[in-house]
């Protein structure tokens, strides 16, 4: 007979894997420039110089992720509610929107917003990046909100209305809070994907991590060192964000039973 792992064993395995991945990432992020700093050679253009430039790239990467997530959540909520509408004049256009945006690659959408629409509407690169992430990921988050709301038993909304609440009050005070148990993990996964996809904004001349790395590697011709450090930086940020999402999900479940 095959032995199945208990939930506690699965959690412990995941925790160990996360701790090992974070530890290895931090170890190499510290070791590589430290080794170079104590090296007797006078070679420049390595990990140590790159380390001084990365904070600015990390700032823009996290800024695009944060603002893009807020935009995507807002778009996803509005579109998700629209897909639940009984009015076909609302339901059909928002469904059309999700089908279109899911079929357009994010990189193409960023080019279209910044360069194509830029011929008519001038916008900063950061605004174009946030808009692109908001519209693209919002199309996916729409079904996250829709499925989360539909997962709440209809009796909950009916009970709220029997207490005198109208449909909007029942949705805001009863249905949505209960649906968050399903929605938060999915939004967290989308945000993790967005963090990694922020590397695409380098094409808009935003000085994110990859843009800083590209410019540095092109200048010093040390592509191995640069992209090794860039990859480790993305890995560490993704691991830390995944733990933050897990903590938020855990705290919400504790507070809401």
Number of domains present in the structure of the chain: 1
- Specify the pLDDT at position 134: 96
Mean pLDDT of 22-31: 87
Whether residue 176 is contained in a domain is answered as: yes
* Cα separation, 115 vs 128, whole angstroms: 9
Residue 71 and residue 138: Cα distance in Å, rounded? 7
Question: Which residue spans within 81-195 are E strands per DSSP?
Answer: none
Task: Give the whole-angstrom CA distance, residue 132 versus residue 204.
Answer: 11
* Burial (Cβ within 10 Å: 0-12, 13-18, ≥19) of residue 185: middle
Round to whole Å and give the CA distance between 108 and 120.
18
Phi, psi of 203 (to 5 degrees): -70, -15
Query: What pLDDT, on the 0 to 100 scale, is given for residue 256?
Result: 66
Q: Is residue 220 part of a domain?
A: no
**161-195 tens-digit pLDDT:** 787 788 888 888 888 888 888 898 899 999 999 99
Euclidean distance between CA atoms 64 and 179, whole angstroms: 27
Name which of 7-16, 73-82, 241-250 the model is least confident about. Answer: 7-16
**Is 15 part of any domain?**
no
Average pLDDT on 7-31 reads: 79
Q: CATH no. for residue 145?
A: 1.10.3720.10
Cβ within 8 Å of residue 231, ≥6 positions away: none
pLDDT at 50: 86
Give domain status of residue 229, yes or no. Answer: no
The answer to whether residue 40 sits within a structural domain is no
> Cα 110–238–215 angle (5° rounding)?
55
Instruction: Please check the confidence at residue 24 and state whether its pLDDT lies above 50.
Output: yes
pLDDT band at 1 (very low <50, low <70, confident <90, very high): very low
In a domain, 180, yes or no: yes
Q: Is residue 105 part of a domain?
A: yes
Report pTM: 0.87
Confidence check: pLDDT of 40 > 70: no
User: CB neighbours (10 Å) of residue 150?
Assistant: 15
pLDDT of residue 29: 87
Residue 158 belongs to what domain range? Answer: 57-206
Give the pLDDT confidence score for residue 8 in this predicted structure: 59
Instruction: Decide if 44 is inside a domain.
Output: no
Phi, psi of 139 (to 5 degrees): -65, -35
Average per-residue pLDDT for the chain: 87
pLDDT, mean of residues 87-97: 93
């Amino acid at each position: 007979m095959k032995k199945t792992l208990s939930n506690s064993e699965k959690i412990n395995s995941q925790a160990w894997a996360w701790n090992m991945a974070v530890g290895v990432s931090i170890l190499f992020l510290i070791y590589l420039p430290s080794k170079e700093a104590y090296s007797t050679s006078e070679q420049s253009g390595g990990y140590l110089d790159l380390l001084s430039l990365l904070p600015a790239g990390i700032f823009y990467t996290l800024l695009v992720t944060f603002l893009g997530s807020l935009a995507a959540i807002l778009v996803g909520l509005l579109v998700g509610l629209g897909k639940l509408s009984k009015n076909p004049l609302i339901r059909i256009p928002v469904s059309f929107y999700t089908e279109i945006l899911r079929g357009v690659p994010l990189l193409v959408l960023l080019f279209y917003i910044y360069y194509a629409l830029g011929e008519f509407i001038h916008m900063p690169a950061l605004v174009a990046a946030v808009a692109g992430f908001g519209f693209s990921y919002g199309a996916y988050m729409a079904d996250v909100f829709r499925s989360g709301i539909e997962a709440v038993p209809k009796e909950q909304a009916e009970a709220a209305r029997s207490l005198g609440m109208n449909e909007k009050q029942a949705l805001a005070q009863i249905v949505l809070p209960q649906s968050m148990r399903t929605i938060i993990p999915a939004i967290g996964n989308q945000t993790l994907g967005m963090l990694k996809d922020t590397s695409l904004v380098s094409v808009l001349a935003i000085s994110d991590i990859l843009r800083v790395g590209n410019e540095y590697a092109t200048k010093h011709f040390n592509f191995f060192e640069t992209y090794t450090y860039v990859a480790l930086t993305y890995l560490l940020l993704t691991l830390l964000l995944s733990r933050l999402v897990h903590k938020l999900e855990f705290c919400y479940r504790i507070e809401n039973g």
